[in-house]
Amino acid sequence: MRGVDHSKMHLWSSPQSGVTVEAFEEAQIGDETASRWLKLRRVKYTTCAIAGEHGKSLVWDCIKSTDGVGVLAYHRDKRAFVCVRQFRPPVFRSARERAHLGVQVDGPTDGEPGMTLELVAGLHLDKVSKPECASAELYEEAGFKVDPSRMERIATHASGLGTTGTCLAVYYCELGDEDAAPGAGGGLVAEGERTEPVLVPLEDVPLVLASSRSMHIPGGLMWALQFGLERVTREERRRAEVVSRMRWAAGGAVAGAAAVWWALRGPALW
């Protein structure tokens, strides 16, 4: 180890150091046509992490992939977030390996270890805008038709830092029963997708975040649900305050009108 001078630690927002890349090159690994979705790359690079150090040549294996979009959809009529469950072969494989069951399966077996709870999401292709892509994914996976103009971008965060280096743009939208599109949803059969839209009630979000099944819930969804819970409860609290003020104002107006009427007409009644 090089060792760290903790007295020189600084805030994340004001970095004092950086990496100088002196060389960077990429090479293909394996058959380029072996997979439609995954393209393996091996990068060779030389960096100088701290001024004065000699450059060091390193190697890193990567996956060439595509940026994606995700949608956190809040169903106002159900007071719940719309998510999807789907079977993920890599998760199933890792779960069996983790349980020392062996990867090979020769007969019917429980597929639940491979089921995940996720945001509605998909790859972003350059031929459409990100809001359009988010709207299309919501239609294809969950069966709701929402115009792209209703998609509000809330964050773009990195994913696959050690493998793909891609980004996921997350959008938020509110929808209702009127946005349900009969016959839509469930994923694109032609792409091998099979998604099951599910509802996560507002009050169940803390349970999901603390669930023992969290290994089947990606961090992006957990962050999005926390964001959504705070946003929806804040909006509901704001609306309740507005209604309360209006009631107080209405009550005050009635009381004031009654006082004026009594001042003008009351003495005549005696």
Q: Write down the pLDDT at residue 246.
A: 62
Is the pLDDT score of 6 beyond 90?
no
Q: What is the mean pLDDT of the chain?
A: 85
pTM: 0.82
Question: Tokens 């773009």 belong to which residue?
Answer: 156
Which residues fall within 8 angstroms of residue 26, CB to CB, at 6 or more apart? 41, 42, 43, 44
Full set of structural domains in the chain with CATH: 16-64 (3.30.360), 68-230 (3.90.79.10)
Q: Over the stretch 108-144, which tens digit does the pLDDT of each residue have?
A: 888 888 899 999 999 998 889 999 999 999 999 999 9
Q: Are 159 and 219 in contact (CB under 8 A)?
A: no
